[in-house]
């Protein structure tokens, strides 16, 4: 933990020179770090912003040049001035980031509304077309094309017994299922499968549980269904001592419409609609979810996103077995269809694979137009 910039620069230079693997926390304003690293030519390989800009006027972002106490006082007694200072700070921050990226740094939006708020503040963050941002969100470059388009998302479960032994059994079951599925997985998802297996195999050793005996594991439609099916059987046999509740994060394939985050890698114009979360929740409800929720705000801020979620109780019964297969299938493939219609290559392949596995599924596949030919028409 470092709280002055001089020491920070020296410490970071040392770590870079010695190729040291270390995490350094700087206690201060991020704008000053970007600016100082630019002046000192400290190269930033990878940069993002993780302030709470979904809530810019009430303490999610602290403007440069003021102490925490001064900012809190201004926020309370002079909110208009505080707003001005936040926007000034965002313009300065974007300017400094632009200097770094001109030198080759890779900057991405973390889904915290940084680019959105910076653009509202008039910062230089827009692309030449004046519509898009000049930097991608991590969903556009990473999470979308590598994970969501293949159906991988943060599947979750909670052991209602709250017994760590049950959680350990579920971890083992999940690892076995994924290892088995990986044997026949297409080449394009082998690395995702390997990462998820490594994660679940190391989960017990890393002791990540605080509170409920719960786990989160990235898996695709097939993985989620097979894991849930095996849990339900283990509950029926008494190997797991009590029911399990399934769920997932909003940050997933299908449940969320958010043009600045979850659906930011959907480029057919539909990212500004909020249909998918609604279809997701309606489909999940009819297909057997124990509860569903539709909400607004999740992460990127009120009015910028619609989230659909579900909970599903597995109690070891045949009915639960039917429900989990029907609902989890929809919960993932609804988003795969949408992503495939948007012509995302990974999702097209995943939709084709889902139709091969289940001949009853019919998803219309998109046709690719020749852009040059179209442009010639107008």
Ligand X SMILES: NC(=O)c1ccc[n+]([C@@H]2O[C@H](COP(=O)([O-])OP(=O)(O)OC[C@H]3O[C@@H](n4cnc5c(N)ncnc54)[C@H](O)[C@@H]3O)[C@@H](O)[C@H]2O)c1
Residue closer to ligand X, measured from CB, 79 or 322: 79
| Shortest Å, Cβ 29 to ligand X | 4
Residue closer to ligand X, measured from CB, 61 or 133: 61
Question: 32-71 mask for ligand X (x: CB under 6 A)?
Answer: ------------------xxxxx------xx---------
SS3 at position 292: strand
- Pick from 226, 143, 220: nearest CA to 186: 220
- Chain positions 276 to 295 lying near ligand X, rule: CB under 6 A, are none
* 118 is an interface residue for ligand X by CB under 6 A: no
Task: Give Cα 191 distance to the centre of its chain.
Answer: 18
d(CA 110, CA 117): 13
* 299 is an interface residue for ligand X by CB under 6 A: yes
CB-count burial class (<10 Å; 0-12, 13-18, 19+) for 223: buried
| Shortest Å, Cβ 212 to ligand X | 19
**DSSP per-residue string spanning 118-150:** HHHTT-S-B-TTSSSBSS-BHIIIIIHHHTGGG
Cβ 333 vs Cβ 252: under 8 Å: no
* 112 is an interface residue for ligand X by CB under 6 A: yes
**DSSP per-residue string spanning 235-253:** HHTTSS-S-EEEEE-SSSS
| Shortest Å, Cβ 138 to ligand X | 6
The secondary structure of the chain in percent helix, strand, coil, rounded to multiples of 5, reads 50, 10, 40
Tell me the residue number closest to ligand X, measured at CB: 112
- Chain positions 324 to 343 lying near ligand X, rule: CB under 6 A, are none
* 253 is an interface residue for ligand X by CB under 6 A: no
Cβ 323 vs Cβ 340: under 8 Å: no
Q: Which value, in Å, is the radius of gyration of the alpha carbons in the chain?
A: 23
Which range, of 25-33, 37-45, 203-211, 356-364, touches ligand X by CB under 6 A? 25-33
DSSP state of 20: -
Residues in contact with ligand X, counted by CB under 6 A, come to a total of 15
* 29 is an interface residue for ligand X by CB under 6 A: yes
d(CA 152, CA 240): 26
Residue closer to ligand X, measured from CB, 110 or 157: 110
Which range, of 104-112, 284-292, 316-324, 335-343, touches ligand X by CB under 6 A? 104-112
Residue closer to ligand X, measured from CB, 35 or 222: 35
* 148 is an interface residue for ligand X by CB under 6 A: no
Cβ 326 vs Cβ 269: under 8 Å: no
* 155 is an interface residue for ligand X by CB under 6 A: no
Residue closer to ligand X, measured from CB, 24 or 361: 24
| Shortest Å, Cβ 31 to ligand X | 6
* 110 is an interface residue for ligand X by CB under 6 A: yes
* 107 is an interface residue for ligand X by CB under 6 A: no
Residues that bind ligand X (CB under 6 A): 29-31, 50-54, 61-62, 110-112, 251, 299
């Amino acid at each position: 933990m470092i709280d002055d910039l001089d020491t920070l620069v020296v410490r970071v230079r040392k770590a870079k020179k010695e190729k040291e693997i270390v995490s350094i926390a700087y206690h201060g304003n991020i704008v000053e770090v970007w600016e100082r690293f630019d002046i000192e030519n400290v190269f930033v390989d990878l940069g993002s912003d993780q302030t709470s800009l979904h809530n810019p006027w009430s303490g999610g972002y602290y403007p440069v040049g003021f102490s925490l106490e001064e900012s809190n006082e201004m926020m309370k007694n002079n909110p208009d001035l505080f707003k001005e200072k936040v926007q000034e700070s965002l313009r300065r921050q974007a300017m400094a980031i632009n200097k770094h990226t001109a030198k080759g740094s890779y900057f991405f939006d973390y889904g915290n509304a940084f680019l959105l708020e910076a653009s509202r503040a008039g910062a230089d963050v827009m692309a030449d077309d004046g519509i898009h941002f000049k930097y991608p969100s991590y969903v556009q470059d990473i999470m979308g094309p590598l994970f969501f388009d293949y159906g991988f998302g943060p599947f979750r479960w909670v052991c209602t017994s709250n017994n760590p032994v049950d959680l350990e059994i579920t971890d083992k079951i999940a690892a076995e299922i994924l290892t088995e599925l990986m044997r026949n997985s297409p080449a394009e998802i082998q690395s995702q499968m390997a990462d998820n297996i490594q994660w679940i195999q190391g989960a017990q050793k890393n002791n990540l549980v605080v509170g409920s005996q719960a786990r989160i594991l990235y898996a695709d439609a097939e993985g989620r269904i097979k894991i849930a099916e095996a849990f339900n059987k283990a509950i029926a046999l008494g190997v797991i001592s009590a029911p399990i509740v399934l769920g997932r994060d909003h940050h997933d394939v299908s449940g969320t419409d958010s043009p600045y985050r979850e659906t930011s890698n959907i480029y057919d114009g539909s990212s500004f609609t909020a249909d998918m979360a609604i279809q997701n929740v309606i489909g999940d409800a009819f297909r057997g979810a124990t509860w569903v929720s539709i909400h607004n705000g999740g992460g990127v801020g009120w009015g910028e996103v619609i989230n659909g979620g579900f909970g599903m109780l597995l109690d070891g019964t045949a009915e639960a077995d039917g429900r989990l297969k029907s609902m989890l299938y929809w919960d993932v493939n609804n988003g795969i269809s949408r992503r495939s219609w948007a012509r995302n290559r990974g999702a097209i392949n995943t939709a084709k694979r889902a139709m091969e596995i289940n001949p009853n599924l019919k998803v219309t596949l998109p046709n690719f137009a020749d852009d040059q030919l179209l442009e010639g028409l107008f």
